[in-house]
């Protein structure tokens, strides 16, 4: 069991009422992982949802045997592995501890069961996930538009392709 105070430190859970945090607290495990510990592996099933209390986790993808691209660094208070809540989901990335990490984990299968048993809990989690996804997509769209504004040749190519597409 995890303390509710620890769950309140997780951004994804900050707006969830305490009676719902108590449900998660009873199911969650607190673990300490060493530097270099690989938590997820590309194309392998994601079993757990992770909430980082302390430390840093690199989300990365291997491009060649010698080159890894860091997609993101997960900092304290953030979470990853939300795909564990989708039956049969596999990882698109590897997650590796960059330093000793204190992480709350909950089985993805158990989270699904909790959502089925308590729709209010599922509602709060999915509302926050939806907001985060929208912010992510808005940021990506802004990056693409900025790139197009800075590269006129690319902008013309995209415009020409789009015109052909809608005809």
| Whole-number pLDDT of residue 59 | 96
- Count the neighbouring beta carbons within 10 Å of the beta carbon of residue 28: 22
Secondary structure class of 11 (helix, strand, coil): helix
- Count the neighbouring beta carbons within 10 Å of the beta carbon of residue 106: 22
Tokens for 77, please give them. Answer: 């208070």
For the chain (167 residues), the mean pLDDT of every run of 10, in chain order, is 95 94 96 97 94 97 89 96 91 96 96 94 91 88 80 68 59
| Whole-number pLDDT of residue 147 | 78
| Whole-number pLDDT of residue 144 | 80
| Whole-number pLDDT of residue 1 | 86
Q: What is the DSSP letter of 85?
A: G
How far is the C-alpha of 100 from the C-alpha of 1, rounded, in Å? 21
- Count the neighbouring beta carbons within 10 Å of the beta carbon of residue 166: 6
| Whole-number pLDDT of residue 141 | 84
Q: Where are the domains of the chain?
A: 4-119
C-alpha distance from residue 85 to each of 39, 67, 136 (Å): 16, 30, 19
- Count the neighbouring beta carbons within 10 Å of the beta carbon of residue 109: 13
| Fold (topology level) of 4-119 | Jelly Rolls (2.60.120)
How far is the C-alpha of 144 from the C-alpha of 147, rounded, in Å? 5
Q: Quote helix, strand, coil % in the chain, to nearest 5.
A: 45, 30, 25
- Count how many residues are written for the chain: 167
| Whole-number pLDDT of residue 159 | 62
| Whole-number pLDDT of residue 155 | 65
| Whole-number pLDDT of residue 77 | 97
| Whole-number pLDDT of residue 167 | 55
DSSP string spanning 153-166? HHHHHHHHHHHHHH
CA 2 to chain centre: 20
């Amino acid at each position: 069991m995890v303390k509710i105070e620890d769950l309140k430190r997780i951004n994804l859970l900050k707006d969830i009422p305490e009676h719902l945090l108590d449900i998660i607290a009873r199911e969650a495990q607190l673990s300490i992982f060493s530097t270099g510990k690989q938590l997820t592996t590309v194309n392998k099933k994601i079993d757990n949802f992770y909430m980082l209390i302390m430390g840093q986790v690199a989300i990365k993808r291997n491009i060649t045997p010698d080159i890894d691209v860091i997609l993101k660094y997960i900092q304290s208070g953030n979470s990853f592995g939300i795909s564990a809540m989708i039956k049969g989901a596999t990882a698109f990335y590897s997650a590796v501890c960059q330093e000793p990490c204190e992480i709350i984990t909950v089985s993805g299968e158990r989270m699904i069961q909790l959502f089925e048993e308590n729709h209010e809990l599922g509602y709060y989690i999915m509302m926050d996930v939806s907001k985060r996804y929208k912010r992510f997509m808005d940021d990506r769209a802004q990056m693409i538009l900025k790139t197009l504004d800075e590269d006129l040749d690319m902008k013309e190519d995209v415009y020409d392709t789009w015109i052909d597409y809608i005809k």
